[in-house]
Amino acid sequence: DAKTTQPNSMESNEEEPVHLPCNHSTISGTDYIHWYRQLPSQGPEYVIHGLTSNVNNRMASLAIAEDRKSSTLILHRATLRDAAVYYCILRDPGYSTLTFGKGTMLLVSP
Amino acid sequence: NAGVTQTPKFRVLKTGQSMTLLCAQDMNHEYMYWYRQDPGMGLRLIHYSVGEGTTAKGEVPDGYNVSRLKKQNFLLGLESAAPSQTSVYFCASSYARPWVETQYFGPGTRLLVL
């Protein structure tokens, strides 16, 4: 099964950029890389996803390595509201869904 | 457009009691899912459905049953609750395959089994 590896936690200061890394060395050629986040006491919410090229949306940017074995979620200016658990996710080949690991807890300080 | 809603938000059960958790979505999504999340853990898939009238087992299905009689609703049942089923339950839905399409989550149901 394709799996992801993320740091357990990261810290940032408000209004600074944040780079959240993810390793997925066994990713298949057709797997999209998804990022979701979970704010405290809420359900997960979609952040961004991509296949090969770097992607941007209003929430974040996703930088994908050329060999697709790693990716980085970039929050350009962290706010206190960005404190959450960030999940880097691939498809679960056993079930028709995504596999959520433990993710990275992002702490943002004022 | 309410998105994905879950009922109830919080419930306390005694061991052996039964209950049904309701998930509803108003986005005409085909795929629906039930996950559980225990403290410090990621989400684990209980059951899922890829269309009205269909259900399938996920990673941790024991002790749970599901039904998808209507496209917009996905019910999760606990026939005889056990303390090990104390958890936060999340429902999710997606228009199509979630490894391509966005998955939308409900706010969660917090269940405590005494």
Q: Closest Cα partner for B26 from B75, B93, B89, B91? A: B93
Tokens linked to A110: 């004022």
Between residues A40 and B100, the one the model is more confident about: A40
Q: How far is CA B89 from the centre of its chain?
A: 6
Question: Mutating which of B4, B25, B43 best tests the A interface, going by the most A Cβ atoms within 10 A?
Answer: B43
- CB within 8 Å: B99 and A90: yes
**Mean per-residue pLDDT for A48-57?**
91
Q: Is B2 helix (H, G, I), strand (E, B) or coil?
A: coil
Count Cα neighbours of A43 within 13 Å in the Cβ-side half-sphere.
23
Say if B19 is an interface residue toward chain A (CB within 8 Å): no
Total CB pairs under 8 A between chain A and B: 60
- Name the average pLDDT for chain A: 91
DSSP annotation of A16: S
Question: Among the listed ranges A50-54, A102-106, B14-18, which one has the minimum average pLDDT value?
Answer: A50-54
Please report the pLDDT score of residue A22 as a whole number.
96
- CB within 8 Å: B105 and A97: no
Say if B106 is an interface residue toward chain A (CB within 8 Å): yes
The rounded distance, in Å, linking the Cα atoms of A46 and A66 is 23
Please report the pLDDT score of residue A2 as a whole number.
57
How far away is chain B from the Cα of A23, in angstroms, using its nearest Cα? 17
* Banded model confidence at residue A93, pLDDT cuts 50, 70, 90: low
Between residues B31 and A31, the one the model is more confident about: B31
Please report the pLDDT score of residue A98 as a whole number.
79
* Banded model confidence at residue B14, pLDDT cuts 50, 70, 90: very high
Please report the pLDDT score of residue A11 as a whole number.
97
Which is it for strands A9-13 and A104-109: parallel, antiparallel or unpaired?
A: parallel
Please report the pLDDT score of residue A27 as a whole number.
87
Residue A1 pLDDT > 60, yes or no?
no
For the four alpha carbons of B54, B57, B59 and B65, in that order, the dihedral sign comes to: positive
Q: Is B81 helix (H, G, I), strand (E, B) or coil?
A: coil
Q: Closest Cα partner for B29 from B74, B97, B95? A: B95
Q: Is B66 helix (H, G, I), strand (E, B) or coil?
A: strand
The rounded distance, in Å, linking the Cα atoms of A50 and A85 is 19
Residue A48 pLDDT > 90, yes or no?
yes
- What would you measure as the largest C-alpha separation in chain B, in angstroms? 40
Per-residue model confidence as pLDDT tens digits over B30-88: 999 999 999 878 899 999 999 999 999 998 999 999 999 999 999 999 999 999 999 99
Residue B54: partners with Cβ closer than 8 Å, 6 or more residues away: B68
The CA dihedral of B84, A46, B49, B10, to the nearest 10 degrees, is: 40
The rounded distance, in Å, linking the Cα atoms of B65 and B46 is 9
- List all residues of chain A from 1 to 30 with a beta carbon under 8 Å from chain B: none
Residue A46 pLDDT > 90, yes or no?
yes
- Name the average pLDDT for chain B: 94
The rounded distance, in Å, linking the Cα atoms of A87 and A46 is 10
